[in-house]
Amino acid sequence: MSVELERPPEHPHVALVTISRPEKANCLDPPSLTGLASAWREIAEDDDIRCAVLTGAGDKVFCSGMDMTTTIPMSQRFARGEKVDDADFEGLRSVSTALLVEFDLGKPLVCAINGHARAGGFDLMLASEMRLAVPSATFALEEVALGLYPTGNATVMLPRQIPWVHCQELLLTAAPITADKALEIGLINRIVEPAVLLEQSLGLAAQVAAHAPLAVRETRRGVRELLHMSLPDAYRRQEEIGRPLRRTEDAREAQSAFIEKRKPEWKGK
């Protein structure tokens, strides 16, 4: 399968998604787009999953973006009104969901960036909350070099995440940057050695999953909603989001667990 969804037994509330086309630089053809979209929907709908990790197979590429030999020509044929078969059409129809564009996973996502993150791979990374990368990873948005507009997450999410000048340099030069540069400008959390990348990424996800699921979900939601509100609106909205949590079973359980000096048992209620 070109996309694998696993539930690591040592981390029961974490899902691991792997783009598995290492022989094709983990590029996204129609079946892998369909597979990614299906994985995200399954994660979003499963209340037992509290955090997800995304990585690529192999040790060279996280995801190189769209498959230039299949997906791009196929989308051009479709745009001209030419017929494509049903499976390919499903892949094209799944692009936005696969890249987490206008599809809210509803749960934190950690990216374990095992190599180069280009174009659509960069878009997937931008949809995540936390990112760990190997020293050899590079990052690039190459659409302008191909005569294209970056219609994924890049022009929407990137200027919300890093300073203006670094955003514009990435978008307008199409030049790759190193993992060291990505760390310097705040694009990733940290650089880790390949041998421990997945272990540390799953561990980070497990740290998130260990906390009250409603609180994690609403905190993630609040950060996204409040980012560009005025201060008065942001303070008002955070109270609207936070007030119901104070009345949940999990909030009462946290208080009891603290008093009884034990780990809380979350119900997600």
pLDDT tens digits, residue range 42-59? Answer: 999 999 999 999 999 999
Query: 242 vs 49, 122, 221, 233, 234, CA distance in Å?
Result: 22, 32, 11, 14, 12
pLDDT tens digits, residue range 170-222? Answer: 999 999 999 999 999 999 999 999 999 999 999 999 999 999 999 999 999 99
Half-sphere exposure of 231 (CA within 13 A, CB side): 0
Query: What structural domains does the chain harbor?
Result: 3-209 (3.90.226.10), 213-260 (1.10.12)
Question: Beta strand pairing status for 14-19 and 3-6?
Answer: antiparallel
Q: Rounded distance, CA 2 to CA 18, Å?
A: 8
Whether 82 shows a pLDDT value over 70: the answer reads no
